[in-house]
Structure 1
Amino acid sequence: MVGRALLLWLPGRADAPAACPWWEVADGRLLAHGTDSGWLPRSADRAREPVTTIGLVGPADVRLEARDPDDLASAQARTAARLQAEDKALGADPHAATSTAGWIATTDAARMQGWLDWATVQDVALDRIVPAAALLPRDGDWHEARFGPHKVIAKDGLAMPDDPALMAALVGDDFVHSLDNEALLDRFANLEDGVPIDLRQGRFARVRRWKPDPKRLREFAILVGLILLAAIAIPVAKALKWDAEAGALDRETAAIATAALGRPVTAEAAEAELRTALGSGGAARADATQMIASLLAAMQPEVGVEAGMIDWNASGTLSARLVSADSAAVNRVLLTLQQRGWIVTANPVAGGDGRAAVDLTMRGGA
């Protein structure tokens, strides 16, 4: 059995004290037991292995019925059996549960709620609630076992407490096998891996809250750290990319303005220098600023295209030589300028270095 299991004999009242028969088992061994409230600190001991808390209930509170496991193999068959058991049960609000091991258990919903309320008062969560009689052998014979002060007698699910009148009526002269403590402990030890039937089904199913394994907290901490690092790194990487693109655009702007003016010009001063050089003498000169800006904008997405030998004359014509290893990129620049309303002519020339070169002239439309 992996981990620990804490078994509690559940009292019949929600306001009952914490003292009850209990057993703590792990790895097939009985670690401790008692009939007091000594189980409470063991249920909350975070320094030890996680504990599975299992409530045991007596035959006076739960009716058991044995079926062929094959008859309850499918989810549909178990649902049908559960509904039939609730329909046949006495009481205003019955609750039934089924299992693939061939058990049908029926109790009262108010009793189920009482057990859960008692556990809530003790600040403990019941992982499973198991009829004690389902732990006894199922072989056609009567068996009895002691759960602390409580004695359970059962034959294939037909179970009863230690009551002389019931014993006389149901058992008669049949032999009753006694389940010793060692055999009962073996059955306890197997409960953490799987119970014969669990009453915590349907509306009373356990809603588990996720809790990290203390042994994996370091892994979670590393994972959270990596997520935070990625959250910081992504915008930083984007900012560096934008800065690099802005730097490339600034260099291109400075190169065009330098070529146009015939002297070194920075990107920050390019617009002012061009306006000063153009002066305010007429619409043709104003067009030159628009032409240079439009040429720069058309070249921006074509990172491999370079502009040189830029010139502007008083007739309102801008001349430039575009050079690129990709002739299609040059053609896209020319097409963009034409789409923006400029009259563009282009003449291929020898680049001298194997790259495509085009001498263009552009002027405003009529």
Structure 2
Amino acid sequence: MTAATVLFLPPDDSLPWRWWRIDGDRIADEGEGAPLPEADRAVIAVAPADAVTLHWAALPARSAAQAAAAARIVVSDATAEPAHDLHVAVGDESDGERAIAVVAPARMAGWLAALAGAGIDPAAVVPAPLLLPVPDEGYVRADLAGQSVARGRTTGWADEARLTDLVTAGTAPVSLERSAVQAAAIAAAAAPALDLRQGPFARRRRRAIDWALVRRLAVLAGLILLATLAIDVVRVMRYSFGADAIEARADVVARQGLPRGAPEGGDAARLLDDRLARLRGPGQGFTRTAAAVYQAVEAVPEGEVTALQFEPNGSLKVSLLLPGEAQANAVKGRLEAAGFRVESSVFQPVDGRLAGDMTVRQ
């Protein structure tokens, strides 16, 4: 930790706050009251030892929620209050065991509210005993900003004569020198073994807008749009070139059907249509007109075509032999329904049937 402020919360609200300002690996300054907030300096709040109960237990190194649930089970056997009414925080694994801190939710909320009132959002809240070094054996004692604190390998408490004797079973804790205490506190502030800011008291992370990332995303979005537009342009060009190639091929094929001597620069499709019209005759031509006539006559029982005469003007004169007048009207109606104009002569009786002519034109 390059720059930080360790803020000691007093056990009694009537007492002042005390703080140490850390620069690098030394205590650069210390004082009382609320330190001035600095944007580049994190604040590590230290909870008084008498307000936090510490336990150690082997907990599963899985998710934070599973570890917290296991910690509540451990705590429920060591406290008179229901575990769900307490704030339980779990520390990092060390030598197979984790520190478990228990504090009243109201006390925790009060600390954070007081800090917020002073414009401070602490990066972590650490129990005071965890600022002391872990002894190789026995217990150690130190004064932290006016608070006497003791700890062992798996214990930590506010150093009071009767309580200390009870915990240590008469073994006197070793008093640490000020320099050793400060060095241990600096190390603990840099990497807290346990942070009370968990669960409902976890610090809210402020997410700043990364404008450089926004600009990069905007550039990428622009490139994607340009690529999409380029793909559409290429597709349109391919379709256009393909259509031109098909049109050129159709023109070549159409010219193959034109007679020799046809003009080279003319519209091949139009010239081919003109030739087809000349070949089949005007109007619908002989083939289509005759096919329509035969189709209409075949639909009439005992109807017969006796003669056909195709005129230069595109009309087709048809001689018919029909059973009766109703059949003649049916043939005329079918041809008119097919899009032809029909002129019918008077049908005369011949050998029990009617004979007459119809002129069919478009």
Give the TM-score category using the shorter length. Answer: 0.5 to 0.7
> Matches of 1:283 and 1:84 in 2, distance apart?
102
2:20 corresponds to 1:28? no
What's the Cα RMSD here?
4.1
* Aligned-residue offset at 1:39: 3.5
Contact 1:52 1:192 in 2 (8 A): no
Q: Which residue of 1 aligns with 2:54?
A: 64
Q: Deviations over 1:293-344 (max 9, x none)?
A: xxxxxxxxxxxxxxxxxxxxxxxxxxxxxxxxxxxxxxxxxxxxxxxxxxxx
Is residue 2:230 matched to residue 1:234? no
5 Å-filtered alignment, 1:114-133, equals 114-133=110-129
Match for 2:106: what amino acid?
Answer: A
Q: For the residues of structure 2 that align with 1:73 and 1:26, how far apart are their CA atoms?
A: 36
Equivalence for 2:89? 97
Task: Give 5+ residue unaligned stretches, structure 2.
Answer: 256-262, 286-362
Query: 1:201 is matched with which residue: 198, 213, 217?
Result: 198
For 2:112 and 2:90, locate their aligned partners in 1 and report how far apart those are by CA, in whole Å.
19
Contact 1:35 1:148 survives alignment (8 Å): no
> Which amino acid counterpart does residue 105 of structure 1 have in structure 2?
A
In terms of Rg, which structure is larger? 2
Q: Give CA deviations for 1:239-270 in whole Å, capped at 9, x if unaligned.
A: 321232233134224414543367679xxxx9
Q: Tell me, yes or no, if the aligned pair for 1:130 and 1:199 is still in contact at 8 Å.
A: yes
Cα pair distance change 1:138/1:55, threshold 3 Å: same
Deviation at 1:283, TM superposition (A): 7.0
Provide closer, same or farther for how the CA distance between residues 161 and 252 of structure 1 changes in structure 2, counting only shifts above 3 A.
same
Q: 2: CA distance between counterparts of 1:263 and 1:58?
A: 106
8 A contact 2:4–2:43 mirrored in 1: yes
Q: Distance in 2 between matches of 1:231 and 1:191?
A: 49
Alignment correspondent of 1:354: none
Partners of 1:192 and 1:240 in 2: how far apart?
62
Over 3 Å counting, the alpha-carbon distance change for 1:147 and 1:278 in structure 2 is: farther
Determine the C-alpha separation between the residues in 1 that align with 2:224 and 2:191: 43
Q: 1:275-290 maps to which residues of 2 (within 5 A)?
A: 278=273
Q: What corresponds to 1:183 in structure 2?
A: 180
How many residues are treated as equivalent by the alignment? 260
Report how far residue 83 of structure 1 moved: 1.9
Query: Is residue 2:237 matched to residue 1:247?
Result: no
Paired with 2:271 and 2:42, the residues of 1 have a C-alpha distance of: 84
How far off is 1:62 after superposition? Answer: 0.3
The answer for unaligned runs of 5 or more in structure 1 is 285-366
The aligned residue for residue 108 of structure 2 is: 112
Equivalent residue for 2:45, pick from 37, 52, 55: 55
1:88 aligns with 2:87: no
**Structure-1 separation of matches of 2:70 and 2:170:** 37
Question: What residue in structure 1 maps to residue 150 of structure 2?
Answer: 153
| Residue of structure 2 equivalent to 1:332 | none
Q: Is the 8 A contact 1:54 1:126 kept in 2?
A: yes
The residue aligned with 2:8 is: 9
Q: Secondary structure at the match of 1:30?
A: strand
Would the aligned equivalents of 2:141 and 2:175 in 1 still touch at CA under 8 Å? Answer: yes
